[in-house]
């Protein structure tokens, strides 16, 4: 079992839809949870991070962590074609080593 599992997609949604992207992880010691956006042939860009359980909101993006089920989610409201990218989740204990998911490819159709 991989330490972090992420559905590769692609996930196609119409413009304006609410998008839900998800990851599961196996190590209950993980405390930090990050979401990165990666456009084709570019480097990952940090969207947001959360510590422990709960929600965090930044504009149209909301990150949610449920430590009891080892499940992390990223919601995108009012999705735009410019949101089309691969979304990577990552998690770790707060040291220098983090485990990344393989990414979910999102396509927002105009």
User: According to the binding rule CB under 8 A, does residue 68 interact with other proteins?
Assistant: no
- Characterise 88 by phi-psi region: left (phi > 0), alpha (psi -120 to 50), beta (else): beta
Classified as helix, coil or strand, 2 is: coil
From the CB of 16, what's the least distance to other proteins, in Å? Answer: 29
From the CB of 102, what's the least distance to other proteins, in Å? Answer: 4
Integer Cα distance of 109 and 15 in angstroms: 5
Integer Cα distance of 110 and 108 in angstroms: 7
- Characterise 9 by phi-psi region: left (phi > 0), alpha (psi -120 to 50), beta (else): left
**Residue 14-53 contact track with other proteins, rule CB under 8 A, x = bound:** ------------------x-x-x----xxxxxx--x----
1/96 with CB nearer other proteins = 96
Residues at the contact surface with other proteins, assessed by CB under 8 A: 4, 6, 8, 32, 34, 36, 41-46, 49, 88, 90, 92, 94-103
């Amino acid at each position: 079992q991989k330490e972090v599992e992420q559905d590769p997609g692609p996930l196609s949604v119409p413009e304006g839809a609410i998008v839900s992207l998800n990851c599961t992880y196996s190590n209950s010691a993980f405390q930090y949870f990050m979401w990165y956006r990666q456009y084709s042939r570019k480097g990952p860009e940090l969207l947001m991070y959360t510590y422990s359980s709960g929600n965090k909101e930044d504009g149209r993006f909301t990150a949610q962590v449920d430590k009891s089920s080892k499940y992390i989610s990223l919601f995108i409201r009012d999705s735009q074609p410019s949101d089309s990218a691969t979304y990577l989740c990552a998690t770790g204990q707060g040291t220098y080593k983090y485990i990344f998911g393989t990414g979910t490819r999102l396509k927002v159709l105009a």
